[in-house]
Amino acid sequence: MARTASADIMCVGPKSVREKFTGIIRQQDVRATEIDKVDMHLSFRPGDIVRAVVLSLGDARAYYLSTAKNELGVVSAESSAGATMVPISWTEMQCPLTGQIELRKVAKVVN
């Protein structure tokens, strides 16, 4: 089972970045509770857009990121049918076309 997820850092705050930066989300940084029960594949998938905070510089190749707050996690995901999924709970997103539900670490959107 994977213990990390990698991410391309596209924005810092409201500003997009010009260079490519890489981030790593470690299993222990996905959520604040039940850390040992986190399944990375059920939290994030390739192509997801994730809101995270930088914890530290990490190693020379990547920053360490965290999604361990309610407002952090997946903010946008595409279903296998190609539709933008809709969050239905803090752990699930649903395809509006097929009704299929997929597990994610969903961010609570704060306006």
**For residue 18, how many other CB atoms are within 10 A of its CB?**
6
* 4-103 topology per CATH: OB fold (Dihydrolipoamide Acetyltransferase, E2P) (2.40.50)
- CA–CA gap between residue 32 and residue 38 (Å, rounded): 10
Dig out the tokens for 70 from the structure.
């309610």
- Domain spans in the chain, listed from the N-terminal domain onward: 4-103
Whole-prediction pTM: 0.90
User: pLDDT truncated to tens, each residue of the chain (111 aa)?
Assistant: 789 999 999 998 899 999 989 999 999 999 988 888 899 999 999 999 999 999 998 777 899 999 999 999 999 999 989 999 999 999 999 999 999 999 999 999 766
